[in-house]
Chain A
Amino acid sequence: MRRYIRLVGILFKFKLSRSMIYSGNFWMAFIVDFFLFVFQLVAFVSIYQFIDTINGWDLNQMFVFIGTFSIVDSMAMGTFFFGIINLPEKIRTGSLDIMIAKPIDTQFFVSAESFNPGSLFGIITGSCMVMYGLSSGGYVVSMIQVLGYILLLIMMYLLFYSMMLIVRTLAFIFVKINTLTQVEDSVIEFAFRIPGTAFKGISKVIFMVIIPYGLIATVPTEHITNMLEPSQWLIVTGITLFFFGLARFMFKFGMGRYTSASS
């Protein structure tokens, strides 16, 4: 375990110094994320000119939701996103070979090799948005709630990681999974960005349980705005553990089938 923590430190330092050399690229990821964050904010503020709530959520809760989305997204973009997104290409071209040869867990290496430190600044802007939403909504937040919120953020980060990895491990079987990743993009674009309260009936089962992108920004928001029932903690924990376990299983299963394309 200590070896892995040290390795994360080394990889992070290496990526940070590399990003500093190309300072444009270092800031670019943050700038892109920041503008997406602003556009989402403008879009929802514009929509709320015409309505008071979306399925019971007012504009302040939406601010918390957008901030939460931004935090989880920045955590993902800053750490595993670029590593995982390139997995199908590595499988297709056989460049995964070099990673298998390293004396560390391959899934860990694939996930951690492409840190993007610039994206982590989005956590600051997201946190500011959450605090603004909470204060303008008049929410009184206890320390226990803050700790619960942080715990849920970590869980949702793991859930996002697991969902992304599961889709990309299918490349071990089908090699080309462009269509699936396109569908995933569409689902993320909306399901990740619209409040889970918008889902009803069968769509709620689909986007909150089967492909639970709808949970990611919704659950921490519901917790910090006193809308999450205690029993939902158990369901969310169960879903996260299930998908995390499934991602691990699928990666190992895929590695068992991996035949290397180039060598």
Chain B
Amino acid sequence: MLLRKYIAIFNVTFKESLAYRFDAITSAVFSFAKIYLAFLLWQAIYDGKEVIGDYTFPMMMTYYILISFMSRLARSESIIWETSDEVRTGSFTKYITRPLKHFNYCVARSLSKGAFSFAVDVMAFAVWLIIFRHYFVIPSNWQSVVFSILFTILGLYTMMQVHYMIALISFKTVDIAGPYYLVSSFMGFMSGSFIPLMLLPTSIGSILAYTPFYYMLYYPAALYLGEGQDKMGLAFIVVVGWNVIMTFMRRHMYKKMLQLYEGVGA
């Protein structure tokens, strides 16, 4: 009963995504551009070198293909713009008057968008694999894949919590773009979307390992490539610990921010 309304939200959002299927397909196909450019850059960097920071060239390309795929599954970013818009126009009131938890609503929508992206991107992923087949590493054991998937799910949930907290700032300030770009730039770098984090100096890498960002993209990809399995216990504690802290933080923030809401325009 409790879950039914969120399943309905999931279904409606999925249908909504279907309306923009052409956009989603072309965007998935063109995401190849990013991988191709990473290929060109790293080809120039390797230039005769076998290994750079534990990674061979095929491992590096596998890393970029994986994080491109994972980034495209993370659809929680839209929570920020939708919430900001609803607060500004006053339509946020519906979450207060209806028997609906706003965070759960956002989770259901993000999951649905992620599921739609997965359905579309699996095809694009297959195309990338065909093109870069000589540069894609297949892991030697299935455990790497399973643990990588589990940490990807945890990482995406962490990302969702961060996006949700940024969204809540819109109760305080009309223009949410500034905080969003600031956090995104940090998140982009610290999650390893620009370069794999093992290339950073060890001291920086060790500090980042205690932040939630480390486990959003970099760690799941590293697990797939057979790295970091010995630190999985600690990794699990850190991710779950951060998620517990963030859960308390977002609940507290929601209560506080809601007091600022005037419902203008509703």
Q: Which residues of A contact B (CB under 8 A)?
A: 22, 24-25, 28-29, 31-32, 35-36, 39-40, 42-43, 46-47, 49-51, 54-55, 176, 178-179, 182-183, 186-187, 189-191, 194, 197-200, 203
Contact with A along B182-197 (1 / 0, CB 8 A): 1001101100001100
Q: Is B182 within 8 A of A51, CB to CB?
A: no
CB-defined contacts of A187 to chain B, threshold 8 Å: 33, 37
Q: A187-B33, A187-B37, A203-B40 are in contact. Are A51 and B194 (CB under 8 A)?
A: no
A194 to B44, CA, bound (A): 10
B89 within 8 A of A: no
Q: A36-B185, A178-B27, A191-B37 are in contact. Are A47 and B195 (CB under 8 A)?
A: yes
* Other A-B pairs beyond A46-B200, A54-B47, 17, CB < 8 Å: A35-B186, A39-B189, A43-B194, A43-B195, A43-B199, A46-B199, A46-B201, A50-B49, A50-B53, A179-B26, A179-B27, A186-B37, A187-B37, A190-B38, A190-B41, A198-B40, A200-B40
| 12 contacting pairs across A/B (C-beta < 8 A) | A39-B189, A40-B194, A43-B189, A46-B201, A49-B199, A50-B199, A54-B45, A179-B23, A190-B34, A191-B37, A194-B40, A200-B40
B142 within 8 A of A: no
Chain A residue at smallest Cβ distance from B44: A198
A41 to B140, CA, bound (A): 35
Q: Interface with A: B8-16, B76-84, B173-181, which one? A: B173-181
Q: Is A39 within 8 A of B194, CB to CB?
A: yes
- Of the candidates B37, B49, B181, B182, the one having the most CB atoms from chain A within 10 angstroms of its own CB is B37
* Interface pairs A-B: 3 shortest CB-CB: A28-B178, A190-B37, A198-B44
B52 within 8 A of A: yes
A179 to chain B minimum Cβ distance, whole angstroms, is 4
B30 within 8 A of A: yes
Number of A-B contacts (CB under 8 A): 96
Q: A46-B199, A189-B34 are in contact. Are A198 and B194 (CB under 8 A)?
A: no
B56 within 8 A of A: no
Q: A50-B52, A179-B23 are in contact. Are A198 and B41 (CB under 8 A)?
A: yes
Contact residues of B between 108 and 132, Cβ < 8 Å to A: none
CB-defined contacts of B52 to chain A, threshold 8 Å: 47, 50-51
B247 within 8 A of A: no
A42 to B173, CA, bound (A): 32
CB-defined contacts of B229 to chain A, threshold 8 Å: none
B31 within 8 A of A: yes
Q: Which residues of B contact A (CB under 8 A)?
A: 23, 26-27, 30-31, 33-34, 36-38, 40-41, 43-45, 47, 49, 52-53, 173, 175, 178-179, 181-182, 185-186, 188-189, 194-195, 199-201, 204
CB-defined contacts of A32 to chain B, threshold 8 Å: 178, 181-182, 185
CB-defined contacts of B201 to chain A, threshold 8 Å: 46, 49
- Of the candidates B27, B47, B49, B185, the one having the most CB atoms from chain A within 10 angstroms of its own CB is B185
A182 to B45, CA, bound (A): 26
A198 to B46, CA, bound (A): 11
A186 to B181, CA, bound (A): 16
Q: Is B44 within 8 A of A55, CB to CB?
A: yes
A230 to chain B minimum Cβ distance, whole angstroms, is 25
A73 to chain B minimum Cβ distance, whole angstroms, is 13
Chain B residue at smallest Cβ distance from A35: B185
A92 to B145, CA, bound (A): 44
Chain B residue at smallest Cβ distance from A50: B52
Point out the residue from B23, B182, B185 that lies within 8 Å of A39, measured CB to CB. B185
B123 to chain A minimum Cβ distance, whole angstroms, is 16
Point out the residue from B27, B33, B40, B178 that lies within 8 Å of A25, measured CB to CB. B178
A221 to B154, CA, bound (A): 43
Q: Is B37 within 8 A of A179, CB to CB?
A: no
A43 to B199, CA, bound (A): 8
A179 to B25, CA, bound (A): 9
Q: Is A178 within 8 A of B23, CB to CB?
A: yes
Q: Is A24 within 8 A of B44, CB to CB?
A: no
A182 to B25, CA, bound (A): 13
Chain A residue at smallest Cβ distance from B68: A186
Q: Is B45 within 8 A of A179, CB to CB?
A: no
Q: A46-B195, A187-B33 are in contact. Are A199 and B40 (CB under 8 A)?
A: yes
A50 to B204, CA, bound (A): 16
